[in-house]
Amino acid sequence: MNHRDAILAAAAGVFAKHGFRGSTTRRIADAAGVNEITLFRQFGSKQALIHEAMRHLTQSAVFALLPDTPVNPERELTDWSESFIQHLRLQSSIIRKTMGEIEERPDMCEFATDVPRRASNDLCHYLTALKRQGMATEEFEPKTAAAMLMGSIFADAMGRDMMPDVFPQPETKAAHKYTQLLLQALGVENGSGKATSKQTKRSKQFSA
């Protein structure tokens, strides 16, 4: 691996563990297996290095796309939700650090908001299309519905390790459950069959 890339990866890792203040140049250099001075020669300053590491990280973030026109809402939305929650869980440390430090370092804001912004945009478009195509029998605001699904997923990804008893079990089904409950609110029929099939209004996926 390139020295430069090793340093960037190390910086991201150390930042995820210790935040900005805790990311000493010594720690980053040790993690990268590189002399501390190399950091300064390559990036100029600690701030520039971490800035660069964050940009590098957010640029490489990808997750599932939603189709332009809904076909099987339950499956499409569940796939998306699971991909989204997985991304948030993998990055949970770094997200928590960034959120905690955003008031002191507003320059980080663009990196922190990039992913959720794109996600919200995609989801809103999808929900609007759902509505326009008459696949939802209930009235709803796409933005509110999108904020609810994303918020549930976000809170789960951030909070479950701290208080597992507050979130639905098992962890692996949580995104699916949030998605189903949201579709229930929108009055979207249970999509286990073909999309154009039945007209029933209730979905009882939670019978226990």
Partner DNA sequence: TGTGTAAGTAAGTGACTACTTGCATCTCTG
Partner DNA sequence: CAGAGATGCAAGTAGTCACTTACTTACACA
- In angstroms, rounded to a whole number, what is the distance separating the alpha carbons of residues 126 and 120? 10
Asked if 168 interacts with its own copies (CB under 8 A), we say: yes
Q: Which does 41 bind (CB under 5 to 8 A by kind): its own copies, DNA, none?
A: DNA
What is the C-alpha separation between 184 and 198, in angstroms, rounded? 15
CA 183 – CA 81 distance, rounded (Å): 12
Residue with tokens 């996600």: 119
Question: Which of 3, 137, 193, 200 forms a contact with its own copies (CB under 8 A)?
Answer: 137
Is the peptide bond between 73 and the residue preceding it cis, with omega within 30 degrees of 0? no
What are the backbone angles phi and psi of residue 151, rounded to the nearest 5°?
-65, -45
| Residue 51 interacts with DNA (CB under 7 A): yes or no | no
- Sole binder of DNA in the list 8, 13, 19, 23 (CB under 7 A): 23
Cα 68 to Cα 20, 85, 101, 130, 192: the distances in Å are 39, 21, 36, 10, 20
Per CB under 8 A, the segment of 15-23, 29-37, 46-54, 63-71 that binds its own copies is 15-23
- 97 touches its own copies by CB under 8 A: yes
Each residue 35-74 as x (binds its own copies by CB under 8 A) or -, in order, gives ----------------------------------------
Find the binder of its own copies among 33, 44, 67, 100 (CB under 8 A). Answer: 100
Number of Cβ atoms within 10 Å of the Cβ of 156: 20
Please give the residue ranges that form the binding site for its own copies (CB under 8 A). 17-19, 21-22, 93, 96-104, 109, 112-113, 116-117, 120, 137-141, 143-148, 150-156, 158-159, 162-163, 165-169, 174, 177-178, 181-182, 184-185, 187, 195-198, 202-208
